Structure 1
Amino acid sequence: MAMTEDTVPADYQPPTPVAPRRPGRVHRAWLVAAVGFVTIIAAAAFNSLPGLLIDPLHEEFDWSRGTIGIAVGLTVALSGLAGPFAAALHDRFGIRKVCAVALSVIAAGSLLSVWMASAWQLVLYWGVLVGLGTGSMAMAFSATITNRWFVARRGLVTGVLTAAGASGQLVFLPLCSWIVENHGWRPASVTVALAALVAVPFVWLLMRDHPADVGLAPYGSDVYVEKPAPQTGAARRTLRVLRDASRTGPFWLLAGTFAICGASTNGLIRTHFVPSAHDHGMPVTAAASLLAVIGVFDIIGTIASGWLTDRFDSRRLLAVYYGLRGLSLMFLPMLLAPSVHPPMLFFIVFYGLDWVATVPPTLALCREHYGADSAIVFGWVLASHQVGAALVAWLGGVARDVTGSYDMVWLMSGGLCALAAMMALVIRRGRKEEELTGVAVA
């Protein structure tokens, strides 16, 4: 919120200009973004597992797909619900400490699952531990880095950091599917745990919490911003921001569209595409490779979406993204077959370009409407994304158990995406970023 004469404290000092950087020197913000990219890849490694392990866990423990879906759904839901609290914890303890702990928790949950023997252990290790860990490393983490370190190129940086999750899928899906196929699911789970642990030293040694830590202004600004004091009462602040945002219409529209986004990506395709393709006779390794291809084009689509978000109306971009996604899902039941054919490849490329292209315009709309609280608001919007994904991860498994097919799930998700496209168009315009933050773009 912009400060007025009535709200400016008596001891307020305006931000002081800093000397321009020497020509040719790369701003430290880009190193922080690069470390964030690597960290998100490591945290996203676990996301490649659930779709690969549904059938092996079903065969070994005789757990229903609905039961496994509960654990997967809880992982996704908690990863979303932890996001807004993690954004507040970043303000209280710093990005570096929170991320190091989160990566360790992900590794612990993945390792402990190797020795599980009951369904409640799956729910505890995957649902609770991994869910909380990935939630602290979710898109709210990207929003915090972007908001603190960048004034210019925010849409592009958001797109790049969001694409890191797809890069993790690209790296780990083929590897984990090969491990599962040849050595079983336990070595794959250990691999994911080791990936999270390897990232911890990079975070601790190279990540910095704020540009002021290294005496710099944010990238794209010549105005030095003092590092704010640690904010106590992270939980209270998070809930207060939710209370205030929930009184506004744009919050519910953004939360609703993002819930549908999560339902049609993490909940649907990431969790159920491999077993659905396997139902039609496609080998698991081939289906997993198609998901990895989605990751390739997701990187391209998300970075391109960030570039477009810097230049075009975010509401119209969202409407286009959701509309095209819904249309593609309507055709998917007709494309599934024992082998990979050109129409299926077209779907994979198309869906990959649209996978999380919705993130940069959604985050931009949060900044327009909620200013300094936008990272926490986006955390709550992300929570709705993960709740939507959790519901479909569970209901998709139930639908498969009851009907023997995923066809109804694909069609209903396509209809929801069409609804999201219409919701995006009625979001009102927000204020310009400079009015909300008080920081001028250089």
Structure 2
Amino acid sequence: MNTTKPSEFTAIAMGILALCFLIGMIGRFSFENFPNLVSPLSNEFGWPRGTIASIYSLGALVTGLTGPIAGILFDRLGPRNVYGIGIVSGGSGLMLAGMADSIWFFYLSISILVGFSAACCGNVTNSALASRWFREKLPLALAIIYSALGAGTLLGLSLSQIFISSFGWRQAEYLLGLCVLAILPIILFLPWRKLAAGRKSPVTALPHAEATSPIQWTMTKALRTIPFWGLSAVFCFTGSAMFSVIIQAVTYLIDVGLPPIEASVSFGITGLFIPVGMIGSGYLIRRIGLLTTAMGSYVVTFAAILFLWSFERPDQTWALYGFIFCFGLSMGSRGPMIGTIASHLFRGKNFGTIYGSISVGSGIGMASGSYFSGLLYDLTGTYDAVFLYSGISLLIGAAPFILVREMRKQP
């Protein structure tokens, strides 16, 4: 008798995907509009590029370092409370930024409050919730959820630049904060007991590692494994490579000769290709394997950097379009791979805490990339060193996929 396994994409599971996508989009929306503030803050306060970049880099570091806290809160308090805390923190941080008159005020509002919001509303908590509803289809589910990065980036950059051009940067921050806080009532009144419970009986076989391993994973046990540090290294160095470009991209396009709104929208359009890259990577992993897919994604990112490096005049549209396509296609594509590997290796009641700790590498990478990007520009006065730094970081970030056996042999 033929038996057909029921689909994991039930109505409630699809609702979980939509919810995680929305939360992830809000988290990135709150943080990824900051590149539009580089020029206004430089003009008003006269700060060097490195000082302004330190606001973003400290925020990225806060996001990474508080990832374990978000994971612990998720495991202990549940998703409703963590998401609510994140939305209040992000909305209030943006509104406070509109009143900032010193670098320390920006560190408090953007770096700490918005940075912590990105952790609470980011991939750690969303991965933990999704892993309760998906097993065999988890790579595809995470690819869909992580693609919120693109939607949040596009929306944040585009809307903030429109607000800045129309009302000034301070009023823009107030309005962005209100947009974030408007989501809070939706979060508070959802049926969280049912949503957080997870799938009562798995519809598919558990991953091989979970089915055969007797290990009850704790944070201490995970810290003693090579895969934990390998996954952290991918997050760290790949994040450093990507965010050294992200923090400079809008200003670079303006310096080349694009109008500010066109520069912001052009970079924001990269977000349209992020879902294609993430979902495409999930499909290719099943077809050609994780290692080949991962290496291909790094090649595409290298191409994006070369395209941007070649863009020296506004009429060189081929270079601009090449950067938009390749950067968007590969941006964040490693995230679902890391989330899937981590969920297979460390699944259990402490997964949120463990994955949150792995994500510390992402925060360190984002922070170092954005900070050293600004510092290198201040020291050299050109973007050449920034692009070179990004390329070297990519090489190091790709290495664990080859060197760590447990990562290399994932399906």
Q: TM-score, normalised by structure 2?
A: 0.88
Tell me if 1:38 matches 2:38.
Answer: no
Is 1:249 the counterpart of 2:261? The answer is no
SS state at 1:115 partner: coil
1:220 and 2:196 correspond: no
Do the aligned partners of residues 399 and 430 (structure 1) sit closer, same or farther apart at CA in structure 2, a change above 3 Å counting? closer
- Given that 1:316 and 1:425 are in contact with CA atoms closer than 8 Å, whether structure 2 keeps it comes out as no
Q: Which among 310, 320, 323 is matched to residue 334 of structure 1?
A: 310
Q: Percent identity?
A: 25
Measured at CA, do residues 92 and 311 of structure 1 come closer, stay the same or move farther in structure 2, by a change above 3 Å? farther
1:89 and 2:73 aligned: yes
How far apart in 2 are the matches of 1:399 and 1:25?
Answer: 47
Instruction: Judge conservation of contact 1:322–1:417 (CA < 8 Å) in 2.
Output: yes
Determine whether 1:300 maps to 2:276.
yes
| 1:324 alignment counterpart | 300
Secondary structure at the aligned position of 2:269 is classed as helix
Aligned to 1:263: 240
Listed as ranges, the gaps of 5+ residues in structure 2 are: 207-215
The answer to whether structure 1 residue 173 and structure 2 residue 149 are counterparts is no
2:118 match: 134
Q: CA deviation at 1:314?
A: 2.4
Aligned partner of 1:288: which letter? Answer: S
Instruction: Give the CA deviation at 1:107.
Output: 0.8
Deviation by residue 1:239-286 (Cα, 9 ceiling, x = unmatched): x61x43232212222211211221122x22321101112222222212
* 3-state SS in 2 of match to 1:337: coil
TM-fit CA distance, 1:52: 0.4
For 1:178 and 1:44, locate their aligned partners in 2 and report how far apart those are by CA, in whole Å: 18
**Residues 1:340 and 1:190: Cα distance change in structure 2 (over 3 Å):** farther
8 Å contact from structure 2 (residues 26, 121) kept in 1? no
Write the distance in 2 (CA, Å) between the matches of 1:24 and 1:269: 37
Given that 1:159 and 1:306 are in contact with CA atoms closer than 8 Å, whether structure 2 keeps it comes out as yes
Q: Distance in 2 between matches of 1:278 and 1:431?
A: 41
Alignment of 1:340-419 (within 5 A): 341-372=317-348, 373-419=350-396
What's the TM-score once normalised by structure 1's chain length?
0.82
Structure 2 counterpart of 1:440: none
Do structure 1's residue 151 and structure 2's residue 127 form an aligned pair?
no
Letter in 1 for 2:295: A
Q: Please state how far the C-alpha of 1:123 moved relative to its aligned partner.
A: 0.8
Q: Structure 1 residue aligned with 2:172, among 176, 184, 188?
A: 188
How big is the shift at 1:311? 5.0
Larger Rg over CA atoms: 1
C-alpha contact (below 8 Å) 2:245/2:387 kept by paired residues: no
Alignment check: 8 A CA contact 1:152 1:221 kept: yes
Aligned residue in 2 for 1:436 = none
Q: Report how far residue 197 of structure 1 moved.
A: 0.9
- Give the ranges of 4+ consecutive aligned residues of structure 1 lying more than 6 Å apart after TM superposition: 430-433
Indicate the SS of the match to 1:148: coil
- Superposed displacement of residue 103, structure 1: 0.4
Residue 90 of structure 1: CA displacement? Answer: 0.8
Farther off after superposition, 278-287 or 54-63: 278-287
Number of paired residues? 396
Give a deviation string over 1:296-341, Cα, whole Å, max 9, x none: 0012111222333455532332222123313432443222423461
Conserved? CA contact 1:108–1:129, under 8 Å: yes
1:196-243 CA-to-partner distances (Å, cap 9, x unmatched) read 2122122222362565748x52663599xxxxxxxxxxxxx99x61x4
Determine the structure 2 residue equivalent to 1:234: none
User: What letter is aligned with 1:325?
Assistant: T
Deviation per CA, 1:352-399, whole angstroms, max 9, x where unpaired? Answer: 111011111111221232222444333222211121111121111112
**How far did 1:26 drift?**
4.0
**Take 2:356 and 2:78, find their aligned partners in 1: how far apart are those partners?**
16
Query: What code does the residue aligned with 2:200 have?
Result: A
Which secondary structure does the structure 2 equivalent of 1:290 belong to? helix
Aligned to 2:63: 79
Contact 2:91 2:181 survives alignment (8 Å): yes
What displacement does 1:117 show?
1.0
Unaligned ranges ≥5, structure 1: 1-19, 224-236, 434-442
Task: Give CA-to-partner distance per residue, 1:90-129, whole Å, 9 cap, x none.
Answer: 1111101110111001111111111111111111111111
CA distance in 1, matches of 2:85, 2:222: 29
Q: Distance in 2 between matches of 1:51 and 1:121?
A: 17
Match of 1:281 in 2: 257
Q: Quick one: distance in 2 between partners of 1:300 and 1:183?
A: 34
Contact 2:87–2:184 (CA under 8 A) maintained in structure 1:
yes
> Any conservation in 1 of the 2:98–2:174 contact (CA below 8 Å)?
yes
Aligned equivalents of 1:402 and 1:363: distance in 2?
37
Task: Look up the equivalent residue of 1:153 and give its one-letter code.
Answer: K
SS for the counterpart of 1:150 is coil
Q: Does the C-alpha gap of structure 1 residues 145 and 307 become closer, same or farther in structure 2, counting only changes over 3 Å?
A: farther
* 1-structure distance, mates of 2:304, 2:205: 45
Residue type of the alignment partner of 2:39: D
- Contact 1:336–1:344 (8 Å) recurs in 2: no
Pairwise mapping of residues 18-37 of structure 1 onto structure 2 (< 5 A)? 26-37=10-21
- How big is the shift at 1:48? 3.2
